[in-house]
Amino acid sequence: MKRLSAFILSILCIYAIYFDLTKGTLPDQNKEIAVEASAADHQSAGLEYFEEQVGPGETVLTIMEAELGGPVPVAIETVVNDFQTLNNGIQPEQIQNGKTYKFPSYK
């Protein structure tokens, strides 16, 4: 039984190493460039926005709710897509304290 367990564990480790070396677990750099290029193309779509500096503990939704004075009137997926379009593909999870970003305005 120990030999069978060791054999299965060895096969699993070999497969994990093979997968990591061939496909990788890090994002493809070419895809990120394509996202930034498409985001720049969509920026000319004319989305209305406001600029805001991010404070400690703030998120995209909290900043937008504060600006609108209540809940956001569109779906969260729309907010995420519009935020990425306005900020050259930056994910909402990647915003940094002290930096200024463009947020979509739904007034």
The pLDDT tens digits for 4-51 are 999 999 998 898 888 877 776 665 555 544 444 444 444 445 789 999
Q: What per-residue confidence (pLDDT) applies to 41?
A: 47
- Percent of the chain past pLDDT 90, that is, above it, reads 57
Q: Which residues pair with 103 in a beta bridge?
A: 50
Q: Which residues pair with 101 in a beta bridge?
A: 52
Tell me the pLDDT band of 93, cut-offs 50, 70 and 90. very high
Distances (CA, A) of 30 to 33, 34, 36: 5, 6, 10
> Residue 7: in which H helix or E strand, if any?
helix 2-22
Ramachandran bin of 75, using left for φ above 0, alpha for ψ from -120 to 50, beta for the remaining angles: beta
Q: What per-residue confidence (pLDDT) applies to 44?
A: 42
